[in-house]
Amino acid sequence: MMEVFAGFTAHTDQQVKRVIDAIADLGEDELKNTLIIYIAGDNGSSAEGGLEGLLNELTFFNQIEEPFADKEAAVEKEDLGGPNYYNHFPAAWAWAMDTPFQWTKQIASHFGGTRNGMAISWPAQIKDTGDVRYQFSHVTDIAPTLYEAIGIPAPTTVDGVTQKPLEGKSLVYTFADKDELSAVDAKSHHTTQYFEMLGNQGLYHDGWMASALRRAPWLTEPEPGTLTDMNWELYDITTDFSQAHDLAKEFPEKLEEMKERFFAEAGRYNVLPLDDRQTERQDPSHRPSLTEGRDTFVYPAGFQAPEGATPDLKNVNHTIIACGSFPVKVAA
């Protein structure tokens, strides 16, 4: 299963290289003046495959057990990675791929669930090629970076709709040569960032990271607990980027300050109320419906969509009309 993912990763890199080569084929100046921001990853490696891995990842979300013998048989047939499976490697591989960080995707409290590598190329403007920048940044910084690089302000309205202010900070200041970065500019402009997912909570602020773990991603439901009173960890990221040494007992006042700041940021960005439900959360009655009030649906050949984006045909009289290579019409 891990070999399949490694093959997928190699394939992804190859396709990205094709895009870059296509830009280069347009001419040397085109590639020099193209800003490329490459982020490959999904909030850290995914542990949703559970401890044994999965032949079909959707079994995890629907709480369907997969016999281990079926997985062994698929491996013996060397059939993984083909159209018969939506397979997912075991959780231990996810943790290994997130080395040296703790935890995995879904764990918003630790960098193993939030950090990805990023490469930025802009030959006409970035001269300090091949070097590394260590300023803290977040995906919300990408849009402000593009606006500043292009030299236009972010729109305040689009088609008459007032836009929310951008929440990130431009990274253009990091494009300067390392020797040209002043002491002020060398510091991260993105000083505070909250993280939260399924009850896992984290806050970065001025070089510190506070982390509260609620659940492991391979457990469907967490143990009973209070989301507003969890066991928090504290890390000095300036000297411990991988969150290896918990300083909560050494700096209790700093930890309390970070916890208070987390809830302030959570309130500011509409994260509250915190919700750690998973399978119950997926109940259609708990979220807006994309199909409510409709009784006719037309899909093109080969169309694929998750169940939540399609009509619920269970225990409902319905007709499916297949039109060969033409769209499929479903009347519910």
Q: Which residues contact 184 (CB under 8 A, 6 or more apart)?
A: none
Mean pLDDT, range 113-123, rounded to an integer: 94
Same domain, 29 and 76: yes
Task: Note whether residue 282 is domain-resident.
Answer: no
Last residue of a domain, one of 118, 153, 186: 186
Residue 231 covered by a domain = yes
pLDDT grade for 261, boundaries at 50, 70 and 90:
very high
The per-residue pLDDT for range 56-72, each reduced to its tens digit, is: 988 887 778 899 999 99
Q: How far apart are alpha carbons 140 and 193 in whole angstroms?
A: 10
Do 70 and 135 have their domain in common?
yes
Same domain, 180 and 255: no
Is pLDDT of 309 > 80?
no
Residue 94 or residue 41, greater confidence: 94
Q: Comparing C-alpha atoms, which of 203, 238, 249, 240 is closest to residue 109?
A: 203
pLDDT exceeds 70 at position 285: no
pLDDT at residue 242, rounded to an integer: 95
Residues 126 and 27 in one domain: yes
**29 in a structural domain:** yes
pLDDT for res 304: 80
Instruction: Give residue-wise pLDDT tens across range 189-232.
Output: 999 999 999 999 999 999 999 999 998 888 767 777 889 989 99
- 269 and 293 both lie in a single domain: no
What does the pLDDT read at residue 290? Answer: 76
Same domain, 12 and 28: yes
Question: Within this chain, do residues 74 and 110 fall inside the same structural domain, yes or no?
Answer: yes
Instruction: Specify the CATH number for the domain of residue 249.
Output: 3.30.1120.10
> Do 55 and 196 reside in the same domain of the chain?
no
My answer on whether 161 and 13 are in the same domain is: yes
281 pLDDT more than 70:
no
Model-level pTM?
Answer: 0.84
Quote the number of domains for the chain.
3
Radius of gyration in angstroms for the set of CA atoms belonging to the chain, rounded to a whole number: 23
Cα separation, 332 vs 329, in Å, equals 10
- Residue 61: inside a domain, yes or no? yes
Length of the chain in terms of residues written:
332
Provide the 10 A C-beta neighbour count for residue 92: 16
The answer to whether residues 109 and 239 belong to one domain is no
Q: What percent of the chain has pLDDT over 70?
A: 94
- Structural domain contains residue 283: no
Decide if 10 is inside a domain. yes
pLDDT in the model for residue 300: 83
What's the average model confidence in pLDDT over 14-32?
94
Same domain, 13 and 147: yes
165 is a domain residue: yes
CATH of the domain at 80: 3.40.720.10
283, pLDDT greater than 90: no
Per-residue model confidence as pLDDT tens digits over 243-255: 999 999 999 999 9
Co-location of 40 and 67 in the same domain: yes
Question: In this predicted model, what pLDDT tens digit does every residue of 147-188 receive, in sequence order?
Answer: 999 999 999 999 999 999 999 999 999 999 888 888 888 999
Check pLDDT > 80 for residue 299: yes
Query: Bigger pLDDT: 28 or 263?
Result: 263
What is the domain extent for residue 327?
288-331
